[in-house]
Chains A and B, each alone.
Chain A
Amino acid sequence: MITQDLISFFLFSLLYLTVTIPLVLAYRVTKVINFTVANYITYGAYTAVLLDYYMRSSFGHNSLLLTVLSSFAVTGLIAVLSNLAVFKPLAEMRVKGDVLMIASMGLWIVLKYVLYIVSDIASSAWRTNLVSYSQIHYDDISLLTVRAGLVGVQQSLVVFPLLAVASMFILYLVLSETRVGRAVLAVADNSVLASLSGIAVGRVVNLTWFLTAGLTSLAGVMWTTYSGAITPEVGDSLILQVFTIAFIGGLSSLTRTAAGALLISGVENFGTDLLSTYLGLPTSIKPMLTFTVLLATLIVSPPLGVAGGVPYRFTRGARR
């Protein structure tokens, strides 16, 4: 029981990190509370599903590398297009952050049901059920595990660390070692100053959308090796955890976000197990625990001054 908990704690921590670090970075650059992050995860997973079915039926093999590259490209492209079509025009209209968020909600519904339609059409064209797809095994990962002498190890135990580390590494490399990465950080800190010093802010914002959405989609690919039933609701089912973690990080600090990912993953896996073992509570209490952490975060350490909030905490009587 405890080993099972440890394994899922490990896997979910990596999954949450893969989603939330790009999310917080994207918020700092684009200033959009972006609910379409759920779509990015789902589109990542579904690119993997469609590619898996196509490659298996045509060539008999599939490949994680190819899946990752195409998920990255598809999702990144969707994010850039949604920026160009929705968020950029809205930002030019100088609307408040609320409107951007509401627009991201609208986009979320549209993208979600577009995916449903796509998977319906693909299901009927290929005469298979893509709306609930089984776990995917990647042939190149099997090859790798056999070479490394790890026969019989679940693929998720290899794929999760691999993709999470790759995602963090790419992010680190781009942000700290390239000029364009430094430009991204500059825009994140102060976009007016960045544009005054000659940075093409619009292009940097587009790049951020592409990069962060692409990296988020890796979480979807990770999910395909873990979950037994991949559905178009994958991303939606993770959104509570993802935003709770982002709020723990105050939508700004990457270290606190990482700590939040560990916290939520721990609470979900160990907390649920403890409560069901010692108090006999059902395991369906899991989302409520996360929700309790969300409320506690908002009370104890609210992210102030972001996303339309007043920059200081007003408590009756107390002076800080």
Chain B
Amino acid sequence: MIDVLGFLITLTTYIGIYLVLSLTLTLEVSSGITNFGKVAFYGLGAYTGALIGTYLPLAITGSRASPFDVNGIQLLYTISKSNPVLDLSVFLLSLAAGFAVSALFGLLLTYPIHRVGSALVGFTLLSTGEVLRLFYLNTEPLGESKGFMGIPNPFAWLPQARGAEALYLIIVWCFVGLTYFIVSRIMNSPLGRILKGMRDDELVALYAGWPTPLIKSKVLALTSGFTGVAGVLWAYYFTSINPNMFTPSLTFNIWAMVILGGIDSIVGGVLGTVLLASVDYAARFVIPFIGTTLVTPDYLRWIIVGLVMLVVLLKKPEGLAPRRGGVSKL
């Protein structure tokens, strides 16, 4: 018997987290920031969340157990089962810290990259993600290759697991709503039109008097903050994270979603995300049942992601749902 409700809840949570990522990417792309390092900020948020979510409850209860051994993980589980106030406050603190750390990191990163062209920005952010991943992989207090296990679910104290999942889903979608609200307000405001002009011709925007580096820094800080929140949401949803989750492939996945829907179109981004994230999730669900085959299905999944990017760019560059009221060419 397949658990349909459970499947739907996890699917919508999964889509929700991806929506936060793709909405922020839409804002970045429409202001001319080619962010190939989504995963850097996402991973930073996730690791910040995991750090707080595991070390803090252990420290508060006065335990000396490490969050990486069995005792520590079991202790975290018992704490999370019994103490709703602690669970929720740790979760809220993680969200705030995830936002702050990622936003600050984004703000600092704009200093080296605001002088150079978008391709160089893209590459720098891409390598930031890789360097951070290698940092997690080689840092002992971050669990090295095993990563964090036993990050407590903030609603673990509820008697039914289903209730916890549903509540978590609501939290995730609140953040989707917030991101959507902010991104659409910015993109449809005078500031949004400045951003668009900046993307189309930075020199003209500069000569029109707009401090483009400053605007870019602010945009990247804001979007990175929300990307960090998505990372925290992922960490608490999946309850374990490891460096292998934060490879550049994840960034391309989000890019494929945004390109499929229509670059710089919010509705398109949402559409593309829902489509590709569903396929992605279904593939995760189905692949284990196929068993060993000659060709690993995961490879095919990535080839499809790459092909989606190429085919849309070549055949339908405006995407499935183009932005209205303007040329939505990148």
Contacts and interface: CB of A to CB of B under 8 A. Distances in A.
A288 B131 contact: yes
Contact of A105 (B128, B255, B296): B255
A98 B330 contact: yes
Size bracket, chain A contacts: 35 or more
Given A110-B310, A298-B112, A309 B131 contact: no
Contacts of A309: 115-118, 120, 202
B302 A98 contact: no
Contact of A282 (B120, B138, B255): B138
Interface in B301-317: 302-303, 305-310, 313-314, 317
A121 interface: yes
B314 A90 contact: yes
A271 interface: no
B24 interface: no
A103 B313 contact: yes
Interface string A270-284: 000000000000101
A97 interface: yes
A108 B252 CA distance: 10
Given A109-B303, A307-B120, A116 B296 contact: yes
**Which of B34, B117, B118, B124: most chain A Cβ within 10 A?**
B117
Contacts of A116: 296, 299
A244 B115 CA distance: 16
A313 interface: yes
Interface residues of B, number: 49
**Which of A108, A240, A307, A313: most chain B Cβ within 10 A?**
A307
Interface string B311-330: 00110010000000000011
B270 to A, nearest CB: 20
B203 interface: yes
Contacts of B307: 106, 110
Contacts of B127: 239-240, 243-244, 291, 294
B166 interface: no
A303 interface: yes
Contacts of A160: none
A117 interface: yes
Contacts of A41: none
A298 B122 contact: no
A109 B249 contact: yes
B119 A110 contact: no
B206 interface: yes
B59 interface: no
A306 B115 CA distance: 11
27 contacts: A90-B314, A95-B317, A98-B119, A99-B330, A102-B34, A103-B309, A105-B36, A107-B310, A110-B310, A112-B302, A113-B300, A113-B303, A113-B306, A116-B296, A117-B300, A240-B131, A243-B127, A287-B130, A287-B134, A288-B135, A291-B127, A294-B127, A299-B115, A307-B118, A308-B118, A308-B119, A313-B115
Given A109-B306, A308-B119, A311-B203, 15 more contacts: A86-B314, A99-B313, A102-B313, A103-B310, A109-B249, A110-B303, A110-B307, A113-B299, A239-B127, A243-B123, A284-B138, A294-B127, A304-B115, A307-B120, A309-B116
